[in-house]
Structure 1
Amino acid sequence: MNRFTIPDEPIEGGTRRRVIDARAVRQEAMTIYWLLKEYEDTGLEPEEIKELLNSYHAVCKAHGVNVTI
């Protein structure tokens, strides 16, 4: 999975949140939009996707196929 956010950085006494450049956010906005649209077009809920992935792993394991996603 590609990350679209900037992770916080643990520092002594707390957490440092990086400042983001608004221009960079605008550049990525359409990429994020199209990825979200692609997901929504599946019509699946997150739990349904998790169930499919679990079933896929079970079938692979039953056939001796080692899969890592």
Structure 2
Amino acid sequence: MATPNYGYEKRQKELAKKKKKEEKLREKSQRKLSPSSEGLAPGDSETDVASLEHDAPTVPDLPTKNG
């Protein structure tokens, strides 16, 4: 009787897991880019991708103990 190839089985599980993760990311990005079903047009400021990209808040430099 042949012995099981555990390395092959593990690799197949890893590939399936990777594929599933990529599909989830693809679906998530599709949902981000597509307009919502609330009736908002793609040009609305609420769904416009450019309006969603905000600059990071700036924090003033705090003085250090050394001066």
Report the TM-score, using the length of structure 2 for normalisation.
0.31
Larger radius of gyration: 2
More helix by share: 1
More strand by share: 1
Query: Comparing both chains, which one has the higher relative contact order based on Cα–Cα distances under 8 Å and sequence gaps of 6 or more?
Result: 1
Report the TM-score, using the length of structure 1 for normalisation.
0.30
